[in-house]
Structures are given as structure tokens and as C-alpha cells.
Amino acid sequence: MAYENILVDENGHVGIITLNRPDVLNALNSALIEELSDAIEKFENNDTIGCVVLKGSDKAFAAGADIKEMQPKTYMGAYKEDYFTRTWERVADCRKPVIAAVAGYALGGGCELALMCDFIIAAENAKFGQPEITLAVMPGIGGTQRLTRLVGKSKAMEMCLTGRMMDAEEAERSGLVSRVVSLEDLHDETLKAANKICDFSHPIVMLTKETINRAYETTLAEGIRFERRMFHSMFATADQKEGMLAFIEKRKAQFKHR
Ligand code: DAK
């Protein structure tokens, strides 16, 4: 697939996807979402890639779904095409870690896209918001659910009901982002985190991601049981043997990703 709305690059074992519709602040239209989904799929199937970084421009991660594309939609049309649910959720379904590097606006579907990633590193100028209410709709791609789980009911309600944006500092305080860095450092800091992840055993990283995500979908007792089983399974990997032996022998582990 030829990409017209995203840029795709690799840095070592890190796959980098840059949203690239600068004229409309990276508004997310169906073509962009199809391309994003395709790029995620390719990185997921590429054994040399251990982690994916998703970013926008300095001014906008993404200012939401494309309002001009959405405005004429009908109920029956949206229902029948399952208005891009299938492709949007591809980011959340990626089995490898996806880090969002957010600078500028992450609004509406843009905020929800960042929330689908495993963690968010934000630049000081980042602004997060769910302004759909101003357009007479509501968040439609996980905002009412993922945002509420992350920041709690009170802040999620205020953001979704008033459209108020959170700045980077409040987002970090509220648990929406893992940390805030300067705009100049955003790219390097995100790549550093991604490269660190890639240095570890890829299957163990994937299992860890899957297990943490369980915490959002199950009871504590079931989650702990799942964690225990996943932990037991790690004794079947060559990388666990190597990781622990390297510690004992006081040397750097050489993981084989199996
Ligand atoms: N869609 C289309 N174009 C957009 C856009 C958007 N979301 N955001 C900005 N643009 C365009 C502007 O129209 C403008 O284009 P021209 O007029 O130059 O042609 C250009 O980007 C620059 O924007 P501004 O001139 O407005 O720039 P400012 O710096 O003055 O303001 C802003 C920046 C981010 C505050 C402002 O652009 C803004 O308020 N944008 C809209 C933000 C918004 O309301 N976002 C939420 C959209 S609704 C679902 C999937 C997804 C969704 C729902 C369901 N399913 C699968 C069920 C998601 C819904 C949404 O995201």
C-alpha cells in the first residue's frame, strides 16, 4: 500500500509512524486510518521490529477525526460500514508495544488514538481534549471508556461534557501520560524508551504488555491468576535462561527473542 497520509520509517528495531496531514493538523480521515492500520500490521509482522512509535507534528499529534468527512454521514451508512471501527482498533490490538509521542493538540479521535497506545510521552506544549460535545456528538472510539479508566470519572466527565483541554502538566498529574519532556527532546526521549524496550526479549515484552492490559478487562483475582500463568510460561523461554544466567555471570544478556 502506498502511503499518502503517514510517513513510515525505522530506527534500529523501532518502527516509526508519523501522521502527516499538516494542512489540517493531522485530522484523521478514513484513508489515513487505513494506512495507519496497514503500517501497524506490517511492523507487527516484521520480526526485526520490537516496538512502534506513533507521532504527529510539533503543532498537532492529531486534532481529531476529520470533521469535513464526518459531517454528511448518516446513521445507516455509519452503521453499515461500521464507521472505521475495524481499522481504528488495529492500534489498540497491536501485540507489540506502541508509544505515542504527543506534541501540540491531541483532540477527539486524536486523544483517543493516543490512549490506544501503551503509554504516552508528552511534550510541554501538548493539549489533550475531547471536544466532540461542541459538535453535538460524543467520543466514539474509546474516549468515554479508556479516558475514564485512566483519569477517573470526575476529570473524564468534565473533559467530555465541557470540552475543556488538559495541558501536559495536568495530564501527567492525572496519569494520562507517563512523563513530560521539552518539545526539543520529545523525539529523542521517545526513541530512547523504544530502543530500551527493543533491547529486552521481544516475546517477554509482548507477554508483559498483554498481562498489564488484562488489568483493564477482568477481576483482580482473575488478573493475578493470568499473571501467574504467564510468569510460569516464561520459564519455557530461552531468553529467561539467558537473562538470569547473564546476571549471575555479571555480563550483558544476549537475547535471542525466543
Ligand atoms: N477535522 C478537519 N479539519 C480540521 C480539524 C478536524 N478535526 N481540525 C483542524 N482542522 C483544519 C481546520 O479546518 C483548518 O483548515 P483550513 O480552514 O485552513 O482549511 C486547519 O485544520 C487549521 O486549523 P485552525 O485554523 O482551526 O487552527 P487553530 O490553530 O486556529 O486551531 C484547533 C486549532 C485544534 C483548536 C482547531 O482546529 C479545532 O478546534 N479543531 C477541531 C477539534 C475537534 O473538534 N476535534 C474533535 C473532532 S470529532 C468514531 C471515530 C472517531 C471519532 C468518533 C467516532 N467511530 C469510529 C465511531 C472522533 C470524533 C472526533 O474526533
Residue 3: per-residue pLDDT: 97
Distance 41 CA to ligand 1 centre (A): 27
**3-state secondary structure at position 123:** strand
Instruction: Report whether residue 35 contacts ligand 1, using a CB cutoff of 6 Å.
Output: no
> Does the CB atom of residue 108 touch ligand 1 within 6 A?
yes
Q: Annotate 46-69 with DSSP letters as a single string.
A: -TT--EEEEE--SSEEE--B-HHH
Ligand 1 geometric centre to CA of 171 (Å)? 21
| C-beta 150 within 6 A of ligand 1 | no
| DSSP code of residue 141 | S
State the closest ligand 1 atom to the C-alpha of 25, by its place in the atom list counted from 1. Answer: 21
Positive or negative CA dihedral for 214, 217, 219, 222? Answer: negative
Instruction: Write the single-letter amino acid at 22.
Output: P
Ligand 1 closest atom vs CA 78: 57
pLDDT 10s digit of each residue in the chain, 258 long? 999 999 999 999 999 999 999 999 999 999 999 999 999 999 999 999 999 999 999 999 999 999 999 999 999 999 998 887 778 889 999 999 999 999 999 999 999 999 999 999 999 999 999 999 999 999 999 999 999 999 999 999 999 999 999 999 999 999 999 999 999 999 999 999 999 999 999 999 999 999 999 999 999 999 999 999 999 999 999 999 999 999 999 999 999 999
Our answer on whether the CB atom of 50 is closer than 6 Å to any ligand 1 atom is no
> Which helix (H) or strand (E) is 54 found in, with range?
strand 51-55
Q: How far is the CA of 53 from the centre of ligand 1 (A)?
A: 23
33 touches ligand 1 (CB under 6 Å): no
Q: CA geometry: angle at 195 spanning 49 and 148, to 5°?
A: 90
Whether 44 is catalytic: no
d(CA 1, CA 247): 44
Whether 65 is a known active-site residue: answer yes
Residue matched to cell numbers 555479571: 250
Q: Answer for the pair 206, 95: CB distance below 8 angstroms, yes or no.
A: yes
Query: Could you confirm whether 109 is annotated as catalytic?
Result: yes
Predicted pLDDT of residue 82: 85
pLDDT at site 188: 97
d(CA 127, CA 165): 6
Cβ of residue 109 lying under 6 Å from some atom of ligand 1: yes
For residue 9, what is its C-alpha cell?
A: 520509517
Q: How wide is the angle at C-alpha 86 spanned by C-alphas 79 and 222, nearest 5°?
A: 110
Question: What cell does 232 get?
Answer: 510460569
- Give the position, in ligand 1's atom list, of the atom nearest the Cα of 134: 44
